[in-house]
Amino acid sequence: MSEIQGIFAAAITPLREDYSPDLEAIPEYLDFLAGRGCHGALLLGTTGEGPSFSTNQRIEIFNSGIRVREKWPEFKLLAGTSTPSLDETVKLTKAAFDLGMDGTVVLPPYYFRSSGDIGLLDWFNHVMFKSVPESGNFLVYHIPAVSGVGISINLLENLLESNPNKFSGLKDSSGDPEFSQRLGDRFRDEIIVLTGSDRLFSHALNQHAAGCITALANLISPDLRSLWEDFRLNNSTELTQNQINQVREICEQFQPFPPLIKLLIYQFFDFPLWPVCPPLENISKDTADRISTMLNLT
C-alpha cells in the first residue's frame, strides 16, 4: 500500500482525429509526466475520458501505457475500470491487474443513483472477489458531483473489514475539506487516500492522505511535487499551495478539464492538439487565446 503515494496525474488520453486512442502517443506522454516529477498516473479517469471508450479500447490503452516502464520502471500506473455494468467492470479490473497495473480506481455504478450502502457494498465486493488478486490495490472513486453516488465512511469501513487484502482506499474528489478530515480522523494510515483536489492538497496531507491524483498534475506537477517534498520535510507548504490555487482558479473558469488540459499541453509543451471524444467539445480559438494570456506554465 505504501507504494501508492505521491503525485499522480489524472492523465489525458491522446486521440486520433477519428476519436480512436493514439496508442503510440500514450507511453510518450507518460514519459513526459514521469520526467516532470509524477510518481505515477491514473489512466482513463475523468480527465482521461474513461467512460467514452469501449472495453477493448480501454484494455489497449492500459497495454500501451505499461510501456512507459521500459524507461521508468518505478512509475506507478492506476487504471480507471469503472462502468455501470458489473460484468464489464469485473472484466476491465481483472485485465488491468493481469497487464501489471499497480491498482484500479473504480466508481460506484452510476446509473441507479438511489442505491444504498448495502447494494454498493455487494457490488464492490463482487468486483473484488472476481477480479482483484490478493494484496491488489483496489481504490474506490468518490466524485459525487459527477457520478451522483456518494461514498460514506460506513461503506469504507465495511469494504475494509470484508476485503482487508484487496480494498486499499479511495480517490477523494469530493472537494469537501470536512470529508477529508473525517477520513483522516477515522482511518489515519489504515487506507490510502489520494485527494483529487489541488486546492486541498496541503489540507489532505495534514489529514494523512497519501498524495493526490489531479488533472492539473498534467500541467503543474513540479509544483505539486515540491509541495509534497516540503510536507515530508516538515517545511511550510503555504506559498506553493497558494501558487497552485492561482492556477486552479483560472482553470476552473474553463471546465470541463479534458479539452482544457489537451489545449494547454499543446500550447505550452509542444504536444499535438489532440481532440476530445464527443459529447465533449474542443475549445474554440478565441477561448484558447484568452486562456494563454492568463496562464504562464513552464
Q: How far apart are CA 83 and CA 61, in angstroms?
A: 16
The string of DSSP codes covering 2-64 is: TTS-EEEEE----B-TTS-B-TTHHHHHHHHHHHTT-SEEEESSTTTTGGGS-HHHHHHHHHH
* Grid cell in block for residue 282: 474542443
User: For the stretch 93-104, what's the b/e string if a residue is b when 16 or more beta carbons lie within 10 angstroms of its beta carbon?
Assistant: bbbbbeeebbbb
Q: Is 19 a known active-site residue?
A: no
Q: Is 110 a known active-site residue?
A: no
Q: Is 111 a known active-site residue?
A: yes
Task: Look up residue 29 and give its amino acid.
Answer: Y
Q: Is 266 a known active-site residue?
A: no
Q: How far apart are CA 72 and CA 62, in angstroms?
A: 16
Catalytic-role residue among 83, 171, 214, 240: 171
Catalytic-role residue among 13, 46, 214, 240: 46
Q: Are 237 and 202 in contact (CB under 8 A)?
A: yes
Catalytic-role residue among 83, 141, 237, 262: 141
Q: Are 258 and 276 in contact (CB under 8 A)?
A: yes
CA distances from 192 to 5, 62, 105, 144 (A): 8, 22, 12, 19
* Catalytic center residues: 46, 111, 141, 171
